[in-house]
Amino acid sequence: MPAKKPAIKSKTNRSHSQRPTINSSRARARPASSRRRQSKPPSLTDTRVMLFNKPFDVLCQFTDEQGRQTLKDFIEIENIYAAGRLDRDSEGLLLLTNNGQLQAKLTAPNKHTYKTYWVQVEGDVSDSAITALETGVELKDGMSLPATVTRISPPNVWPRNPPIRERANIPTTWLAISIREGRNRQVRRMTAHVGYPTLRLIRFSIGNTSLLQHGAMLANGGYCELSQAEIAQLLQS
């Protein structure tokens, strides 16, 4: 009588739960090591930081399903990302980098980095309105922190496309407003709260980095790359 072959039967009836246990542990191990590699920031020599003068009506992202203008229409460098945001209807300084650690540092709320905006508002701004903005105003999401606000002469900047809508016989005022918060549309809400709607908003500087580079204003829609020494200062700030 021929002998039975239990080995074949045992192999056929092997529990299916045994294989996933081994494969699952391997699957978990690979992404873990992969995440460790990805979390390591680029070295200083590999870190890149771009200063971009964002035009009006441009989104602070590289893709858009609706076909609107994005950063990709102006910057063709791969693997860099915006450090912070600037509203579509705002203009001016935007920093981009390939260093996630630096990106987080530049946008960390506890850093309280001052950002200065050149703001054109409707009306002749009163001293009491400036005092209110400097002291803090009550917004829907709470009181704004104290700000630095000064009247300035109309800055020598690029024309906006399209131009702002000015009403006849109503003057406008330019203000330099420095805040250390980053709430949604905060500057616009602050000026509206004191009775002076924002017509145009240009971010001029973030900390010690500004649109003024090597004695000249960065062209609207243009960008430049920081040197290694300038990047090192950003990392140490």
**Residue positions annotated with a catalytic role:** 87
Distance of alpha carbon 195 from alpha carbon 133, whole angstroms: 11
Strand residue runs (E) in 55-192: 81-82, 91-97, 115-122, 138-139, 142-143, 148-152, 172-179
Contact 204, 117 (CB under 8 A): yes
DSSP structural state of residue 230: H
Distance of alpha carbon 193 from alpha carbon 47, whole angstroms: 41
Distance of alpha carbon 34 from alpha carbon 113, whole angstroms: 33
Handedness of CA 101, 103, 105, 109 (dihedral sign): negative
Closest CA to 115 of 75, 143, 87, 140: 87
* C-alpha 200: how far from chain center: 19
Rg for the chain (alpha carbons), in Å?
A: 27
What are 182's two structure tokens? 């980053």
